[in-house]
Amino acid sequence: MIDRKKGKEITLIAAASENHVLGKDNQLIWYISEDLKRFKKLTSGHAIIMGRKTFESMPKALPNRKNIILTKNTAYSAENAFVAHDIPSALEFAAEDDRPFVIGGGEIYTLFLPIADKIELTRIHHPFVGDAFFPIINEKEWELIQEEKFEGTEEQPYSYSYLTYKRK
pLDDT of 4 > 70? The answer is: no
In a domain, 3, yes or no: no
What pTM was computed for the model?
0.95
pLDDT number for residue 86: 97
Q: Range of 98's domain?
A: 12-161
Q: What is the DSSP string of 51-119?
A: EHHHHHHSSSPPTTSEEEEE-S-TT---TT-EEESSHHHHHHHTTT-SS-EEEE-HHHHHHHGGG-SEE
Q: What is the CATH number of the domain that holds 133?
A: 3.40.430.10
Give the tens place of pLDDT for each residue, 117-126: 999 999 999 9
How many angstroms separate the first and last alpha carbons of the chain? Answer: 18
In a domain, 35, yes or no: yes
- Rounded to an integer, the average pLDDT of 76-89 is 97
Query: Which of 38, 93, 40 is closest to 68 using CA atoms?
Result: 93
In a domain, 56, yes or no: yes
pLDDT number for residue 7: 74
pLDDT number for residue 81: 98
Q: Residue 128 and residue 23: Cα distance in Å, rounded?
A: 9
